[in-house]
Amino acid sequence: MDFLVTPSRLRDAVITVPGDKSISHRAVMLGAVSRGRSEVRGFLNGDDCLATADAMRALGVEIRMPSATDVVIEGVGLHGLQPPAGDLDLGNSGTAMRLMAGLLAGQRFATTLRGDESLNGRPMGRIVTPLTRMGAAIETDCDGTPPLQIAGGLALRGIHYDMPVASAQVKSAVLLAGLYASGETSVSEPAVTRDHTERMLRSLDVTVASSASVVTLTGGQEPRGAVIEVPGDLSSATFLMLGTLLSQDADVLVKTVGVNPTRTGVIDILRGMGADIRLENARRFGDEPVADIRVRASRLRGAAFDPALVSLAIDEFPALFVAAAAAEGTTTFSGLAELRVKESDRIAALADGLRRLGISVAETADGATVHGGRFTGGEVDSSHDHRVAMALAMAGTVADGEVLIRDVDNVATSFPGFRECVAGIGADVRLA
């Protein structure tokens, strides 16, 4: 599928976005290995999280979906997973694969995890290294990519792991394996990363200690099933924030969005560029902070930002590159080497997309310098990447001509209904 975007103005609106992807994955995985039933409300009914649910079903867990966003999980307890009949296919989802590897490393049976073409090219050495130190045996392709063949029946022991890269997926994989390990498992991170795993474990009665940059848990603790309410995904809300900021006079309220401080780097970076973004009606869904986000059209200017914000905004750089391209002046992005191993090489994909829309971009090994300007019409490619597709779609709404975005099927991995959502508030985005 392709999107055809025609210049259009967003109207004032109150909207919601689908559930948080990171929290939805964790709800299904942790609910599955809990004692008793869990009920998940506001689940992200997108391809990535559905792949996780299917994988847990294949491991013998009963999972029902009484509605598109309600999930009931009959937890089997820490040691109740069953050997699957075949390989587990995790589609496009790096989160699913890396977290599942942690969960499966300490099972009594072997498993094989696979993904689609994009996932099969992503680095898995980052989880294999610590899990192997814990006593797991995991084979990858010779270049450290999936499929993952995880041996069964091995006893895991707790370790302390100093993560060389700031990655919530690696931290979570080690902590999940730590539930099955003897003694204490701890992880220290070089920069703060999203802490949904720690928060959800606590809400399921597992004791997790966090101090400065170290997270610790003791193995053998069995999570207890609970009701888990999933907030709207700030990463999805970001595209609506971006569209609103760029659209003349627009004023949009995105309701009930997760504003966990380990995720809100995008708000700080955009505010530093002059964005009018306010949080209203702050409240909590369990351990997760939630707010309504009011965004008003703003004159953006290029700005330098604190490198400590990178890991707090790691999924938002596609939108931030587009914001920089529409801003006055120049923005230099650096410290973004991780973007090269996301669903696509996002630095290359965005540099290419923005250049095709008339923006001057100089790519570096770990970032880019983006010179703000006006978008021309043109044809761009998503590089099979949902966030690249959505960011470029928002650029199209303020371009001088039509923008055709090729290959947008992957939008359904994180934001099913994106096109309908933005079209509902005035963005002329059609299927071409």
Among positions 296-315, residues that touch ligand S3P (CB under 6 A) are: 314-315
Tell me, residue by residue from 145 to 174, as one string, x for binding to ligand S3P by CB under 6 A and - for no binding: ----------------------xxx--x--
411 backbone dihedrals φ, ψ, rounded to 5°: -55, -30
CB of 252 to ligand S3P, least distance (A): 24
Tell me, residue by residue from 191 to 230, as one string, x for binding to ligand S3P by CB under 6 A and - for no binding: ---x------------------------------------
d(CA 238, CA 241): 5
Nearer residue to ligand S3P within complex by CB, 167 or 382: 167
Among positions 312-341, residues that touch ligand S3P (CB under 6 A) are: 314-315, 338
Nearer residue to ligand S3P within complex by CB, 6 or 334: 334
Which residue is at the shortest CB distance from ligand S3P?
22
CB of 320 to ligand S3P, least distance (A): 14
Binding residues with ligand S3P: total (CB under 6 A): 10
Active-site pick, 20, 195, 233, 315: 315
Among positions 81-100, residues that touch ligand S3P (CB under 6 A) are: 95
Residue 251 falls in the annotated catalytic set: no
Asked whether position 264 contacts ligand S3P by CB under 6 A, the answer is: no
CB of 237 to ligand S3P, least distance (A): 14
CB of 212 to ligand S3P, least distance (A): 19
**Residues involved in catalysis:** 315
Q: Which residues bind ligand S3P (CB under 6 A)?
A: 22, 95, 167-169, 172, 194, 314-315, 338
